[in-house]
Structure formats: structure tokens, C-alpha cells
Chains A and B, each alone.
Chain A
Amino acid sequence: MNENTSNPPSVEIFHAKSEGNGFFSWVATVDHKRIGILYLLTAFFFFGVGGLEALVMRLQLAKPNNHLLSPDAYDQLFTMHGTTMIFLVVMPTLIGFSNYFVPLMIGARDMAFPRLNAMGFWFFPFGGLLLHFSLLAGGAPSVGWFSYAPLSETPFASSPGVDYWILALLALGIGSISTSINLIATVLALRAPGMSIRRLPLFVWMVFVNSFLLILALPALNAAIIMLFIDRQLNAHFFLPAQGGSALLWQHFFWTFGHPEVYIMILPAFGIISEVIPVFSRKHIFGYEFVAASTVAIALLSFGVWAHQMFTVGLGQPMDIFFAATSMLIAVPTGVKVFNWSATLWGGSIHLTTSMLFAVAFLLQFTLGGLSGITFAVVPIDWQVHDTYYVVAHFHYVLFGGSLFGVFAGIYYWFPKMTGRLLSESMGKLHFWLTVIGFNMAFFVQHFLGLMGMTRRVYTYPDFPGWGFLNMISTVGAFILGFSVLVLVWNMAVSLRRGTPAGDNPWNAWTLEWAASSPPAEHNFDQLPPIYGRRPLWDLAHPEQPDEPGSIRDKIDGNRTDKNKAGMMSFIVSEAFFFIMLLIAYVFYNFSQHPAPGTQLLNPLKTGIFTFCLLASSFTYWRAEKRMEARNQTAFFGWLAATLVLGGVFLGGQALEYWGLFQKGLRAGTNLFSASFFMVTGLHGLHVLIGLIGLLIVLWMALAGDFKKGNRGVIQMVGLYWHFVDVVWIAVFTTIYLVGARS
């Protein structure tokens, strides 16, 4: 072994002894590459489903006053189409690529938590099934992918479609959050020697930033859909204005998630483009630092622009002005990226492979979608075009013309790595041109239709001059687009069997995944090349002109976080955001009057005593940890037992309080106070219960003697979680019992 090469950071290997190739080996796999492929295949299947739904809708819209579909069927179709494409296609596809390539690109053996990775994946197909099961259980949801309340409430949507939608989104959300935590821990903990943060391939960097966006944005959706579920199942009325609830809060919560979601769906695609364009221009990416930093700016700004989805609600002029400003501002970092990609092309030796063609088309179409996006920041324009086909055209230019074109570029770029065979370029070009023509035919005309006033989400339209013609163009385009997907399938099927063998590095690319064999071995790398810069394979091939002359690995290697700590901390951050959303809801419903009606039923003193128990349990656990460090087993068991008892007493106290409130006739559906009180304290109680289970696992491991071998990470991680649950309770207790109930 050369002294400069290194072994990939080791991961505890959970893999079955031999993975084999049978059906069960795929079901049981914990290999990040197989899981990545499973993600991609499942997402591709749902892409077919969502695409067919779109084609049926386009058939209905092909001519004016058409009655192919009933209004309700049409509503179900556009709801399912939107939900499918967002949650079951774009997100999992990008997660699939991340799963496959992030460990390879940073020179790791696998993801940080392979079994968690498998769990995250399996939530996805089952979430998809749950969503589609609604078809058998009384009809798909028909309230749009945003499920605006009160339309999505029982009085207006009485079939269980929305309930399945909620459960599916919860399942998918859990999967996405666990995969994001896994990706964060992988990037922080498992980078190969020499792969410092500032040398990360841009795809990895964007996936990394995107994972933070996911763990911060999804809790807002989860909070909102849990509230909707409580409304629907327990007869509360969080979002029912007729009973004092607020439909507006649903919109705020939904778009707090929904706008970052837009960037969640585009950032990894940006990452793919940032890999493809330099490789096929045979140049460095122009302004690596700017591309990387602007990603962070986009991620942070994306949380500050959601209200632009709600200009038509009537939020008042001050709100409109501030959010118009931020919405325009977010165009700046996005524009920086477009500028950098264009500058990378400039003067490059451009190889127009299919992958590159998709990347260039991405650049043009995404820019168009971005520009029409900025027009919405102008409030009066937004008022005019809101809920018209102009909006439909805009977000399809971003999500299809942008995200999916990025995905196609990624497929052509990475297919050889994943399978060992190149996709056919001639069929690829056919696919490309059909896609570009079909896509632009289908969606460009919708700008005009929208400006002429054609409203979206309505199953048909009157025969106004030009409308039928433009819609027919759109429908024909959609079918060309559908056909182009078949070309891609055919190309993949044929190339898989008879494609030109790719070799390890068919594109002469520079990032680490191309140092592995194609397809990579189960353990990814036998040996890693030395990493002295952002393009290790370039440095390897051109030792005379390295990217970072004179760079020595040891000096700028950076540190590696402990993967357990990275994972647990990101989980805690995500949970903290979830509780922040719940507390915001509590404050929203109960703080407009002081003290809030209903809070006189609470007994702050009694709950204060149980609060003391919970806080004391944090102390006892801390002592237990210290005792374990001092290798004092007996004292450790003592303190741990005390922690368990104190935690149990707290839960007992909560049960007692609930019982008392039930006795007084309070139910979740009684009023807004009871609903929000039971929701916040109940979900916190659930977390205490999970913490107790964690403590029991620690106890069990201690009894089995696991900690004698020195593997004490578990004690620390469970401790972090337990302290976190206590801190949340301090916030809950302060909000509900101290500030909210003070008389």
C-alpha cells in the first residue's frame, strides 16, 4: 500500500454474512447502495403512477367543457398527483441519489447508521401504500396537496381520504427525517482522511445543507397534520373557524414547511448540476465558495419567505411588504448559482453528452421558473395570477424543468457507476429532445392560460377564444412527455443488458465515487486515493499540477464528530422544532385572553411537584453517568433506578392530572384550550415514555454487562435525549402553567 492511500473510515458492519442476490437479500439489505437503488426504483414506479394521473387530467382538459372526469374524480387526481410527485417521487429520488453517492463521494464504507437507513427507506413504500390505500377505503383525498383547512376538515371532507393522507405523510416524514439525520451524521463523522468540509463535492455539501432543511421544516408539517388529525378524529376544532379555530394557522404552519420544501426539492438537484457541469466542461466549478455559501443563504432565507404564498389571504400591508422583500432577496443567492454555472460553461471544452444536455436545459428552464417565481413577490401580480395556470406553469418549470431535469442529468451521469454499463447516448438524445419538447409544450402555454385567467384545480373550463387550442397543445405536450419516459425505460432496460461496459471512470470525472469499481464492491473501496484537494482523481492523474499545491493532509484535515453524537443532536434539533411549533399553536389559541379560559382547571402547584421529579431525574441520570465513568457499578444502578422511578412518577402524575380533568368533563374536543393542552402535554408525555424505554435499554445493557467492554456511547446518547425531554418540559410548564395560567 502506498503511504498516501488510506482505508475508508470503518463502520460497524451489520451486513448479513453474504448478501447474495435473491429477493430476500434486497428486502433485508442495509447496504447504502442497494437502499439507494431501492429508493430510485420505488420512486420511479410512483413517477409512473403520478405521471399517469397527470395524463388523465390532461385528457380531461384537452377540450373545453369536457366531461371525461367528474369534478370529484378530478379533485382526487390532482391531489394524488401533487402528493405523489412531491413526497413519493422528487424527494425519494433525491434521497436515493444521496444514499448511493454521499458515502462514496466522501470515501466512506457506508452510511453512519445502516440499519436506520433501511428503516428510513421502508417507511417510504409503506407510506406510499398507505396513501393509495385510501382509494379502496372510500376515495382518495380530494383537497389538494396542501389540504387547506377547513376544506380538509370532517364537515367538508368526510371520506377517510384525508386521514390516509395524514398518516402517509407522517410515515414519509419519519422516514425522511431519519435519513436526513443519517446523512448529517455520515458527512460529519465518516469523511475519509483528507476530505475536510471545505473539500466536499458540491453534491455532498448541498445534500448536507438540505438535510438540515429537512429536519427543520418537516416538524412544522408534522405538527400541522397532527392537529388536523386531532380535529378529524377527536372532534377538536383547531382549524374550524366556525367553532373559534383558525383556518389561517393551518396555512401558516403548512407553508412554514411548504416553502422550505420547495428548496428541499431543488437543492440536491443543484448539487447534481454542480457535479455534471464542471465534468463535461472540463473545468473547475467557477466560484466553489460562492456556490457553497449561497446554498446556506438559500436554506436560511427559505424559512423567511413562506408568507408570500399567502398574499391573497389579506395579511395586511406591513406583512406583504416585508415578505415581498425577502422573496425577492432569495432570488439573489439563487442567481449567484446560475451565474456560477454559466461561468463554468464559459470557455470550457464542452462535451454535450446526454447528461450535459439535461444540465444545460436545467439551467435555462430553472432560470425561467425562477424568474416567474420572482414575479409572485410583487404583491399585485400575485393577487392577479394567484390560483391560475400561471402558478402551475411556474412550479412545473421549477420542479420538472429544474429538479427532474437535474435527476435525469444524474441518471445519465451515474447510471454507469451504479450498473457498470453506459446508457445508450443515441437513445438518450432522443429521450432528451422528446422531454424538452414535450415539457415546454405542456407547460409554456400554461403561462398564457394563467394570465388569461384560467383557474387551476377546476375540472373544466369554458370555451373562451384560444383556451381550447392552448390546452390541446399542453395535452399533446404532456403525452410526448409521457412517451419520453418510455424511451428512458427502454434505454435503461436495454443498456442494463447490452450497454457498453463503462469502466471505473467513463467521464474522466474527479470525485471519489469514480475511484470505486463500477458497480462498486459491497465495501465500496479497497483503497482510497490520497485526498489533497477538491478533485482527488485530478490530483492523482496530474501530480504535476495539483489543485491545492503544497497542501498537506494532516494540517487541514479538520475533525470528525462522533457519529452517535451528531445523529442524536440533529434528532434533538428536529424534535425541538416540533415542540416549538406545538407551543406556538398553544400560545396562539390560549394567549389572546389572560388567563386563558379553561386554565383555571389546572393546578400549577401540584404539577410543579411532578415537574420537580422530572428535573431531579436529569440530575440523578447525570450522577449515574459519573458513577459509570468512575466504574462504580453499584452506585450506577442506584442512580439509574432513581432516574427510572422519578420519570415514572412524573408520568404517573400526568396520568393523575388527566384523570382529574376527565372527571371534570374535559375532552380533547371540548374547547381549544383542552385540545391544545392535551396535544402538547400528551405528545411530551409520549416523549417521556420513549425516554423511559431508552433508560430501560440502558439498564438492560448494563445488566448484560455491555458497558464493561467500554461501549458507553449509549449511556451518553440516552442521557442527551432524557435531558432534552426535561428541557422541553420546562418550556411547556412555563408556557402553560406559569405564564398562561397565572391569575
Chain B
Amino acid sequence: MTTRELLLTTWNWNPFWIAVCVLGLLAYGWIFGWKLQAKSVYFFLGLILLFLSLASPIDFLARGYLFSAHMLQHLLLVLIVPPLLLLGLPDPGNKFRLPEGIAPWVKHPLIGWLSGVGAMWFWHIPAVCDAATSIEAVHTLQTFSLLMMGTLFWRLIVGPRMEERLSPMAGIPYLVSACVACSLLGIWITFTAVSVCPVFMNPMDRMEILPMIRDSWGLTPAADQQIGGLLMWVPACLVYLGAVLVLLVRFYRHPAKTEKKHAS
């Protein structure tokens, strides 16, 4: 199999995820009255990326072949898709309020931070990572939990309810500390001799593409893990950094609002 064939034939047309995406689209249209807004683009982009990360060859390679592909999928699901979906949502006003009992818990910044960082650390405990890669049910659970935890993390920065967003001066340490926590894991994965996800050491070569990956792509298991670690370390941190810059832009654009909120 050539690289080209691989990219064309390994799409995963899992009806479940197609249904999730279509339902998401319908729900979005129905709830917000079938009116397209500029920010809907974010939502669509989020859905497209969600679909790509779960159906494209990224998913195929992430299931046992390449740790770096797994990491790409992981980061898309935590760091890219949730904020895009959130950015696409209009302010729901009084609709969809959380029940009073759990709202303060869900809304606490510490919970948001721990979900965002926990999503990175928990799913890279070697045994957990192995299970999520090789057992379908755990993989699905992982996908959902990543989306959920990512949403909990990002709602404080780009959530649809303005009053629930962190003020820029609180948001910057929130993001920078998350970047540090995530970089530490990335650095560990990059440099450690220990295999973070041992499944990827000797993949079950169901499509007989391993020689191509190892030889023509030049990805040894060690280099593969290194790329995975670097993905989490460098580009992931750039996402947080980008969000910091967005906050700064907001801070300078709406001084009265942001500073007053900070004071209260």
C-alpha cells in the first residue's frame, strides 16, 4: 500500500460519529432558529475538524500504528474542536441553565483548569493510553471525555455566556499555567526512554503498512513518540499562547467592561 492509497482508503465511516455530527448540526440549527451568523462559521469548522479527527486516516493511524497520530487526534479533540464549537454558539441567555445544585461546581475555574490539564495527563498514563487505543469502548469513552473536558476548560475563555468568561487578567495565568502543565507532560514524553503507550511499540499490522511507516516515512517507535511529545509540548502550547493574545486583544478593545468586571 502506498501513502496515497493509505490516505484514500483508510477513512472510517463510522455511522455513530456521522450521526453525532449530523445531530449536532441539526440541534444547532433548531436551537438557534436556522439563522446563520458570522460566528456559525466557527461551529461548522469545529464540526468539520471533529469529523476529520475521528474519520480521517488520523484515526486509523491513531489506532495502534502511530503515537504521533494519536496525539494529533487527542489535541484536536481537547484544544481545537471544543473552543471552535463554543465560539460558534450565540449567547443562550436564560435558556439551558445548569441545575443550581451542580452549577457552582462546574463553573469553578479550578474545575475548568483541572479538566483541561487532566485530559492531557490522565489519558497518557501508560495503561490507560493502551486501553484507549486497543479497546473500542474505551476509545469512545475517551473521545467523549476529551470533548467534555475540553469544553469545561475552554468555556471560561470563549464560552457563549460573556458573564461566565474569566476576565483577561485572570484568564492569562489560567492559560499560561495550563500551558506549563501540558508542556511538562510533553517534555516527559519527548525525552523519556519509557514507552508512554506501549501498544505503539509493536503494532498489529492489520493493513501491512508497517514497513512503509518504518522505512519510507522513517518513523521508528522512538521518533514517533518524540514527535507525539513535541506535538503536545510545542504546538499545544502555541494554542494557549494564541488564546492569551486573544484575551489581550479583548482587554484593550473593551477596557471598561473587562476592567470593571475584574474589579468586582
In the complex, the answer to whether A304 meets B223 with C-beta atoms within 8 Å is no
In the complex, the answer to whether B259 meets A292 with C-beta atoms within 8 Å is no
Given A292-B248, A316-B226, A555-B260 contact (CB < 8 Å):
yes
Interface residues of B in 167-194 (CB under 8 A from A): 169, 172, 176, 179-180, 183-184, 187-188, 190-194
Q: For residue B192, which residues in chain A have a CB less than 8 angstroms away from its CB? A: 591-592
Indicate whether A661 reaches chain B with its CB closer than 8 angstroms.
Answer: no
Q: For residue A297, which residues in chain B have a CB less than 8 angstroms away from its CB? A: 241, 244-245
Q: How far is the CA of A260 from the CA of B241 in the complex (A)?
A: 16
Closest approach, in angstroms, between the C-beta of B220 and any C-beta of chain A?
Answer: 10
Q: Which of A125-133, A134-142, A556-564 contacts B (4 or more CB under 8 A)?
A: A556-564
Indicate whether B31 reaches chain A with its CB closer than 8 angstroms.
Answer: no
Interface residues of A in 560-617 (CB under 8 A from B): 580, 584, 587-588, 591-592, 594
Q: How far is the CA of A316 from the CA of B190 in the complex (A)?
A: 11
Interface size on B, residues (CB 8 A): 35
Indicate whether A151 reaches chain B with its CB closer than 8 angstroms.
Answer: no
Q: For residue B245, which residues in chain A have a CB less than 8 angstroms away from its CB? A: 293, 296-297
Q: For residue B255, which residues in chain A have a CB less than 8 angstroms away from its CB? A: 196, 198, 556
Q: How far is the CA of A730 from the CA of B193 in the complex (A)?
A: 25
Q: For residue B233, which residues in chain A have a CB less than 8 angstroms away from its CB? A: 304, 322
Given A289-B249, A293-B245, A580-B184 contact (CB < 8 Å):
yes
Indicate whether A379 reaches chain B with its CB closer than 8 angstroms.
Answer: no
In the complex, the answer to whether A304 meets B234 with C-beta atoms within 8 Å is yes
What residue of chain B has the Cβ atom nearest to residue A333's Cβ? B245
Indicate whether A7 reaches chain B with its CB closer than 8 angstroms.
Answer: no
Contact partner, A296, options B188, B193, B244, Cβ 8 Å: B244
Indicate whether B252 reaches chain A with its CB closer than 8 angstroms.
Answer: yes
In the complex, the answer to whether B230 meets A322 with C-beta atoms within 8 Å is yes
In the complex, the answer to whether B252 meets A292 with C-beta atoms within 8 Å is yes
Q: For residue A198, which residues in chain B have a CB less than 8 angstroms away from its CB? A: 251-252, 255, 259
In the complex, the answer to whether A316 meets B169 with C-beta atoms within 8 Å is no
Interface residues of A in 288-331 (CB under 8 A from B): 288-289, 292-293, 296-297, 300-301, 304, 316-319, 322-323, 325-326, 329
In the complex, the answer to whether B248 meets A196 with C-beta atoms within 8 Å is no
Indicate whether B98 reaches chain A with its CB closer than 8 angstroms.
Answer: no
Closest approach, in angstroms, between the C-beta of A215 and any C-beta of chain B?
Answer: 13
Given A292-B248, A296-B244, A197-B169 contact (CB < 8 Å):
yes
Interface residues of B in 151-207 (CB under 8 A from A): 169, 172, 176, 179-180, 183-184, 187-188, 190-194
Given A289-B249, A304-B234, A591-B192, A317-B176 contact (CB < 8 Å):
no
In the complex, the answer to whether B226 meets A592 with C-beta atoms within 8 Å is no
Contact partner, B234, options A292, A316, A326, A559, Cβ 8 Å: A326
Q: How far is the CA of A559 from the CA of B167 in the complex (A)?
A: 12
In the complex, the answer to whether A558 meets B259 with C-beta atoms within 8 Å is yes
In the complex, the answer to whether B260 meets A318 with C-beta atoms within 8 Å is no
What residue of chain B has the Cβ atom nearest to residue A300's Cβ? B241
In the complex, the answer to whether B249 meets A293 with C-beta atoms within 8 Å is yes
What residue of chain A has the Cβ atom nearest to residue B253's Cβ? A289
In the complex, the answer to whether A322 meets B259 with C-beta atoms within 8 Å is no
Closest approach, in angstroms, between the C-beta of A502 and any C-beta of chain B?
Answer: 34
| For the complex of A and B, 8 pairs with smallest distance between CB atoms | A559-B263, A289-B252, A558-B259, A293-B248, A322-B230, A318-B226, A318-B227, A322-B234
B residues at A contact (CB < 8 Å):
169, 172, 176, 179-180, 183-184, 187-188, 190-194, 223, 226-227, 230, 233-234, 237-238, 241, 244-245, 248-249, 251-252, 255-256, 259-260, 262-263
Q: A198-B251, A594-B194 are in contact. List 5 more A-B contacts (CB 8 A).
A: A197-B259, A293-B245, A300-B244, A304-B183, A557-B263
Sample of 26 A–B contacts (CB below 8 Å): A197-B259, A288-B252, A289-B249, A289-B252, A296-B172, A296-B244, A296-B245, A297-B241, A297-B244, A300-B179, A300-B241, A304-B237, A304-B238, A316-B226, A317-B223, A318-B227, A319-B230, A323-B234, A556-B256, A557-B263, A558-B263, A559-B262, A580-B184, A587-B188, A591-B192, A591-B194
